[in-house]
Amino acid sequence: MDRRGLLAQVPKDLAGSAYQGDLMGSAERCAGTVMCQAAHVRAALSEVSEITFHNSGCQGIILHFGLMRESLGRGTQCEWIKRVSIVKDVANALSYMHQNCSPSIIHRDISSKNILLDSEYQAHISDFGTARILMPDSSHWTSFAGTYGYAAPELAFTMEVNEKCDVYSFGVLALEVIMGKHPADFILSTLSASSSTSTAYDILLKDIVDPRLSAPSKQESKQVTLVAKLALSCIEPNPLLRPTMKQVCVQLLKEIPSQFNVFPIVTIGQLLDLQMTNV
Q: Collapsing DSSP states into helix, strand and coil, what is residue 88? A: helix
* Per-residue pLDDT, 275: 79
**What gap in Å lies between CA 219 and CA 38, rounded to an integer?**
36
Residue range 43-68, pLDDT digits in tens? 332 333 332 222 232 233 334 455 56
Position 259, amino acid: Q
Instruction: Check whether 263 has a pLDDT greater than 60.
Output: yes
Active site residue 185: no
* Per-residue pLDDT, 78: 80
Q: Which of 200, 213, 206 is nearest to 269 (CA)?
A: 200
Question: What is the percent of the chain where pLDDT is above 70?
Answer: 65
Model confidence at 140, pLDDT cuts 50, 70, 90, reads low
Position 195, amino acid: S
* Per-residue pLDDT, 76: 60
Average pLDDT over residues 158-165: 84
Average pLDDT of the chain, as a whole number: 74
Residue range 167-226, pLDDT digits in tens? 999 999 999 999 999 999 999 887 666 555 567 788 999 999 999 999 999 999 999 999
What are the phi and psi torsion angles at 152 (to 5°)? Answer: -65, 140
Average pLDDT over residues 231-239: 94
* Per-residue pLDDT, 66: 57
Which of 18-27, 105-114, 196-205, 257-266 holds the top average pLDDT? Answer: 105-114
| Cα Rg, the chain, nearest whole Å | 18
According to CATH, the topology of domain 67-116+125-273 is Transferase(Phosphotransferase); domain 1 (1.10.510)
Average pLDDT over residues 146-163: 84
Is the distance from CB of 232 to CB of 268 less than 8 angstroms? yes
**Residues near 181 by Cβ (< 8 Å), separated by ≥ 6?**
72, 210
Specify burial of residue 170 (Cβ count, 10 A radius: 0-12, 13-18, 19+): buried
DSSP string of 216-274, one letter each residue: P-HHHHHHHHHHHHHHHHHT-SSGGGSPPHHHHHHHHHSPPPGGG--TTT-BHHHHHH-
Q: Collapsing DSSP states into helix, strand and coil, what is residue 19? A: strand
Beta bridge pairs of residue 67: 116
List the catalytic residue out of 109, 127, 166, 210: 109
Q: Which of 85, 106, 89 is nearest to 41 (CA)?
A: 106
Residue range 222-231, pLDDT digits in tens? 999 999 999 9
**Residues near 253 by Cβ (< 8 Å), separated by ≥ 6?**
none
* Per-residue pLDDT, 53: 26
Whole-structure pTM over 0.85, yes or no? no
